[in-house]
Structure 1
Amino acid sequence: MATKGKAKKKQPSGNANNGYQLKIVTSDVCAVCKTPCARGLRYLERMRVPGASGNGVPCILTRYKA
């Protein structure tokens, strides 16, 4: 005899990524961007200092479903 009720929802595994991913862009990409964001502009200012080194910044305009 089966019990009536709501079915139990399956929990996603710990390594499943259901969100969005952002591409990391460098200052040269931010400099030519048609719609500059605040994060990109701050990064550009930091990279204009002589001797600055950076690894890039996540760009919200290049997000994709992972």
Structure 2
Amino acid sequence: VARGDVRGLSVGYRVRAARGEGPRELIELALVEVSLVARPMQPLARVHALEAECDRSCECEESRSRR
């Protein structure tokens, strides 16, 4: 990610509320997952910023291991 090799995102969600037919306006979503991918289905789904602090990522790992 830091080198820019993987910049795409895959976002999985469930639609809780939407408006319209054809192109829908999504009003409320339930986020299921977010993954880094090389080729996203939606070309504009991109990583625009990366926080490169090791301490922060270690905190995230510690938080996950407590679940």
- TM-score range, shorter-chain basis? under 0.3
- Structure with more contact order per residue of length (Cα contacts < 8 Å, sep ≥ 6): 1
> Taking structure 1 as the reference length, what is the TM-score of the superposition?
0.24
Q: Which has the larger radius of gyration?
A: 1
> Taking structure 2 as the reference length, what is the TM-score of the superposition?
0.24
Higher strand content, 1 or 2: 2
